[in-house]
Structure 1
Amino acid sequence: MFIVVPSLPSPAIKGLFGCPHDRAHELFIATLTEQECPFVSFPCKDYAEYESGECQRLDRATIGRMGMDAEKYNLSGNYYLQTTSDKSSFCMHYLEVELQLSKDQQDGMGNLVFVIETNTTASERLPGWSSGTSWSSGTQLRTTVHSPIDPAQMTSLKVTLHGQGAAVSPPLLPRAVKVTRVDSQLTLTSQDLCTETETLQDKETMVLRPCGEENA
């Protein structure tokens, strides 16, 4: 079974249980016409786990491709697929972001909001977690964001910190940042990102670029 998750406003999506069958039928057809789209799905216990992002890992051993090619991957259980709200296009791309925090990192909690930029366009603001996350010394933060923009064209990634739970939120100290994308053949490509800024203060934005290009 696979569950198509349209990009709907939050109140609507909260009431979504099971598969919207008309959309699923349209998806099958779209996999014939949008062949460069990954149509990646994730094995999740239920929608709550999918929404939390816990099961959205770009792991070649577990992800599948929905639609026409689904039978090639021997999938079993519930698989969740994100789509756009645009009736003329289904394609949604995925970017997994991993931030390795410094051992000097202070305890904190909040959310990170990402914007994928290319030479010609930029994504919407993409929250890393549905309700935020927490971190401490040496934590590895990992999340997967969805956008119609193909991250293969990404020139920079903007990250904004929104602290929670403290009058003064400690800055984030990312020691290393890696992103991973997936193509229509479910091939994973990872890339290290760098920035000239060592700390990310609350409500401020850090610009990350492929390492070696940040000073270009």
Structure 2
Amino acid sequence: MEGLYHQTNNASAAEGSKSLSLRAGRVSVRSPSLLLATSVRKQAKPARLGILKQVHEVQSYMGRLETSDKESVHLVENEIQARIDNIFSNLERLEILSSKEPPNKRQNAKLRVDQLKYDVQHLQTALRNFQHRRYIREQQERQREELLARTFTTNGTHKKILDVANMLGLSNTVMRLIEKRAFQDKYFMIGGMILTCVIMFLVVQYLT
């Protein structure tokens, strides 16, 4: 009887050992995938936090654009564009990491990457809109300067014509006609300036 008891205990121990061995085998099979998932999470989280920090830095730089002078605004724009390009590059790496997440977490990881992409694309659009407005503003300033220079040239030419007329002894009637024509030309020029400004305002208002 005692021998039978020992045989039963030995069989139970063997079964238990076999069960533990099988469980250990299953754990060892799953271990590489678990290690990969852990490694991916350890890389993805710092990468995502780093991108969020870069986005906040770009937002801070965007605030400097409105207060920058003409000499430094181009440098600020270039700095912002370089940072945006760097963020896009980091997002590509983060997207690769998110594709390696476990299936039950992959969708959420992809949504977080897409949200970051949207935020960065919004910053890129804001930068381009600012550059477009600056270009229009600078173009308007150049045109105003050209119109003012043309006005001074017209006034100087008019004075020279009167001086020449006096030297040639032209009649008062001819000189009055010359003055009248110059007066009309001045109004035409002012009207053209106003029309140009109105057109530029409409372009900026409705096309930007």
Q: Same fold per TM (> 0.5)?
A: no
Q: Which has the higher contact order (CA 8 A, sep 6+)?
A: 1
**TM-score scaled to structure 1, two decimals?**
0.19
Relative to its length, the structure with more strand (as a share) is 1
Relative to its length, the structure with more helix (as a share) is 2
**TM-score scaled to structure 2, two decimals?**
0.20
